[in-house]
Amino acid sequence: MDGSLVATDWPPLTLGELRPLLAEFPACGRPVSILTISPRPFSAASVVETTAGRIFVKRHHRLVRDARGLEEEHRFLEHLRSRGVSVPRLFASAAGLTAIERGEWTYEIHDIPAGVDLYQDALSWTPFLSSAHAHSAGQTLARLHYAAEGFNEPARPVRPLVSSFTIFAAADPEAELRRYLAARPALAAHQDVRRCAEQALELLAPFHAELQPLRPALPALWTHNDLHASNLLWSNESPTARATAVLDFGLADRTFAVYDLAQAIERSLVEWLAIVEPDAPLDSAAIHFDQLTALLDGYESVRPLTRAEAAALVPATALCHAEFALTEADYFLAVLHDEQKASYAYRSYLVGHSRWFRSAGEPLLAALRRRSATRWGPTL
């Protein structure tokens, strides 16, 4: 979270474990070499050369994703593929399974969609390389939202590292926060987490009040919840490249379209790494307004926002980080037992970003308000 490269949480994949795994997947061939080792911390993943071509193998600890949890994501992926969205194709085992549990691990295997992994070395919370990239990402997200319609599975049960939206979706966020923490014992038992969560609740209360009257006009939808440049493949390496495929649906859940769009704004257009440390000035996090305009123009060129959605985008942008910050803290405490990493999640991320939206982040929210007012007039 501070922008430095650190060791991944999980050991990398090896050819020794891949041989018996791929033996269960007839279409994958036999492993020849491991071409990449993903720097992402929450799982172990690699591009693997096999006798049948290149595949992408991902290994999760079962405390993070068991087979049932992965199958939730896989059903959403298959729905999107059936509706024409370019997402990775899942390989099935000889027994017809797309998620395999072996000991403490759960595995999934994907093909590699056409495109260039242009942002493979990019850090999280860093912007697009160009406004044209932001515009294409917006178009891609809008197409995904159209395709997601008709996928009517319920919201996911309590799992680590899922970007749900329940606390501020409720009429009483304080009561919903208590339920959220109670369902995650590592958070409920942690005094600093509870204190920071209550602080964030107070900071974000005005945005909850702004969103509440608009909620009935925001239909539920399964959403990606982590759209940023490195979760896309691209047509080439130029500043005018188009997004060609969407990757990594690990945070997907049933929320609503504008929540997903808000996540794309929050993930990509603010340089959060400048304010990770507690004493860093909040106004040192640059906002990329040109890319904000491009992302939204791209999105609305495919799927124009309704009046309620345009108004709701403002508070949703300020609120969308909260539950993922808490689920990250839960992962660090309950799975890794790492207090230092957890403190980044509940202090720097949850509270730090909440403070920013009440102060230095106001120009971002003001830009969204102006855009809505220009098209629709004053907020409902």
Q: DSSP character for 186?
A: H
- What is the per-residue pLDDT for 68? 97
- Of 54, 81, 110, which closes a domain? 110
Distances from the Cα of 273 to the Cα of 89, 120, 231, 304, 344, angstroms? 33, 18, 19, 31, 12
43 inside domain: yes
Same domain, 153 and 68: no
Q: Which two tokens stand for residue 257?
A: 């379209």
96 inside domain: yes
Q: Listing from the earlier edge strand, what are the strands of the sheet with 105-110? A: 31-34, 44-50, 53-61, 105-110, 100-102
Task: Let me know the angle formed at the C-alpha of 263 by 257 and 269, rounded to the nearest 5 degrees.
Answer: 130
5 inside domain: no
- What is the per-residue pLDDT for 373? 93
- Of 110, 144, 166, which closes a domain? 110
276 inside domain: yes
Task: Let me know the angle formed at the C-alpha of 167 by 227 and 319, rounded to the nearest 5 degrees.
Answer: 45
Give the CA radius of gyration of the chain: 20
- Of 49, 81, 110, which closes a domain? 110
Q: What is the CATH number of the domain that holds 106?
A: 3.30.200.20
Same domain, 188 and 334: yes
Same domain, 167 and 316: yes
The secondary structure of 198-211 as a DSSP string is: HHHHHHHHHHHHHH
Domain count, the chain: 2
The one-digit pLDDT tens for each residue of the chain (380 residues) are 555 556 678 999 999 999 999 999 999 999 999 999 988 889 999 999 999 999 999 999 999 999 999 999 999 999 999 999 999 999 999 999 999 999 999 999 999 999 999 999 888 788 999 999 999 999 999 999 999 999 999 999 999 999 999 999 999 999 999 999 999 999 999 999 999 999 999 999 999 999 999 999 999 999 999 999 999 999 999 999 999 999 999 999 999 999 999 999 999 999 998 888 777 888 888 999 999 999 999 999 999 999 999 999 999 999 999 999 999 999 999 999 999 999 999 999 999 999 999 999 999 999 999 999 998 877 65
Same domain, 282 and 367: yes
- What is the per-residue pLDDT for 283? 85
- What is the per-residue pLDDT for 5? 56
Same domain, 135 and 209: yes
323 inside domain: yes
- Torsion angles phi and psi, residue 216, rounded to 5: -60, -20
Same domain, 275 and 185: yes
SS3 track for 38-100: CCCCCCEEEEEEECCEEEEEEEEECCCCCHHHHHHHHHHHHHHHHCCCCCCCECCCCCCCCCE
- Torsion angles phi and psi, residue 92, rounded to 5: -110, 145
- What is the per-residue pLDDT for 112? 96
Residues written for the chain:
380
The secondary structure of 161-179 as a DSSP string is: S-----TTTSS-HHHHHHH
123 inside domain: no
Q: Which two tokens stand for residue 150?
A: 């008709």
Q: Is 250 helix (H, G, I), strand (E, B) or coil?
A: coil
Distances from the Cα of 6 to the Cα of 3, 23, 39, angstroms? 9, 33, 8
- What is the per-residue pLDDT for 3? 53
Same domain, 160 and 296: yes
Same domain, 282 and 355: yes
Q: CB of 234 within 8 A of CB of 137?
A: no
Structural domain of residue 84, as residue ranges? 15-110
Strand-pair partners of 61: 105
Q: What is the CATH number of the domain that holds 302?
A: 3.90.1200
- The pTM for the full model equals 0.95
Distances from the Cα of 145 to the Cα of 18, 47, 83, 299, 306, angstroms? 35, 28, 11, 10, 14
Q: DSSP character for 112?
A: -
Same domain, 304 and 236: yes
Same domain, 325 and 195: yes
Where do the H-state alpha helices sit in the chain?
Answer: 15-22, 67-82, 131-148, 173-182, 185-188, 191-211, 257-268, 289-302, 307-319, 322-330, 339-343, 352-357, 362-376
122 inside domain: no
Same domain, 312 and 367: yes
- What is the per-residue pLDDT for 379? 62
CA 265 – CA 272 distance, rounded (Å): 12
Q: DSSP character for 275?
A: G
Q: DSSP character for 306?
A: P
Q: Which residue has the tokens 């992962």?
A: 331
Q: CB of 122 within 8 A of CB of 229?
A: yes
- Torsion angles phi and psi, residue 238, rounded to 5: -85, 165
Same domain, 219 and 344: yes
Q: Which residue has the tokens 């649906």?
A: 249
- What is the per-residue pLDDT for 121? 85
- What is the per-residue pLDDT for 123? 82
- What is the per-residue pLDDT for 125? 81
231 inside domain: yes
